[in-house]
Structure 1
């Protein structure tokens, strides 16, 4: 996850490291009179990526179709990219360079998605890696990976840079995320309409309902089912939810801390990713004990993206299948 955490902070940091590595070599790439240099051919191939039919499906799965072409242009416009591609030797460096370019394009596209919508793309690590593999293949190789030595060096630099960047962006991050806290506070003061909406939606379904609720929806659904017996619901499946936290701090409206769940409470399965800073577990004896089933999954993405990636994770759908069976 360290690699993608760094790419989220700086999508071209791997290309910067490669440019430094290539520039330190005594020899320069050989040129053939009348032929386009490798770097120029690679940049031209990259510019045409968005039109390649093989990328249509992985881009659509990741939700990045609209953001990928300008992201490619962003990365290709960076001086580090130009230096890395100009100094690379085709037969020696193509594997690591194409992979680094692919990761930079996907990281930049993800940042553009977040800037447009205010939230990271709903993309699991598996979907992200499949897209990177597809882009790398289109660039000319399926071999992945900057050398381990370079990655370790970059991570040492990147961790410093990343911590510094997070501090510098603290104000922006707070502004980006304050809406979630505002939603929770709004619910705690005016949550009845939300609970009424969930109840009405349950009533429109047949009996034997599995109620799936993400984040704040998990709080509201838990609150509803604790406060009122609704026999149609046989399972509550919360995903990345803060319900256990609100109970622990005495802020869950329907259940004061220390009081048990009511007898009518249906089976409760609680899915969480340990990297999701907004997901909480509740199976501690001091909380809900065996009345809740905490299920840990790995969305395969960094901390700031983990809360959005559940619904693109095969592990989540395995849990959902078990609830539906």
Structure 2
């Protein structure tokens, strides 16, 4: 079949089911939901935003990791010289180590203490998180009365959503969207229980998955190259967006980007009974490729 293009598709109608990230406070969630609702309203969509506060209602508790970092007062300034071409790796590492010795908080922040806490905390409380999201999704589907429910998950929310849908093939959704998510990286660690890592024959969700990332958001990762199929279907497609923001502001800059909303509008039209093909995905501007056919001698 021929898919609707941005110029021909109907105005989205249904429920946008927002799955927030790990460190979302009640106040932060309200602000995020308000930003999303503002964008939906500005576009004239017939879409209701549902955003369960799953972290507060689950057993997940994340403390302030900065209290675990040693401090020795104000670090002394250290000029960073211009490095000549061919400089040895150990010289670079010595410079980096000296600079960050008394700046460990900055280093840990850059390397993603949040990501580490996400992984450990999520796996410790996976059952309670899934229980809440599963019930909330089921309730949203009833409220939608036949209209689509599109889950859109940010950061750790993407990990929880992908893992949930991987273990729930009959979930009442037709597609899903992850934004600034670490789910692809965790898959390479074999750390998504419902989707065991398999390079030769990767697992797939029961619905099409749109993954949105920003190369300036160091907590976002590509998913499409990890889940390519040889049958021409595009189970996962990527969309790169450009916020122009520095990290970590780039991690929360997605909602004001027009391409994000164009892609979400497209995802509202997807149906699980009409799998997206690589050709269709590429025509819509998404990143998608066909995997080589498996060798007969394997």
TM-score, length basis structure 1: 0.46
| Structure (1 or 2) with the greater helix fraction | 1
TM-score, length basis structure 2: 0.50
| Structure (1 or 2) with the greater strand fraction | 2
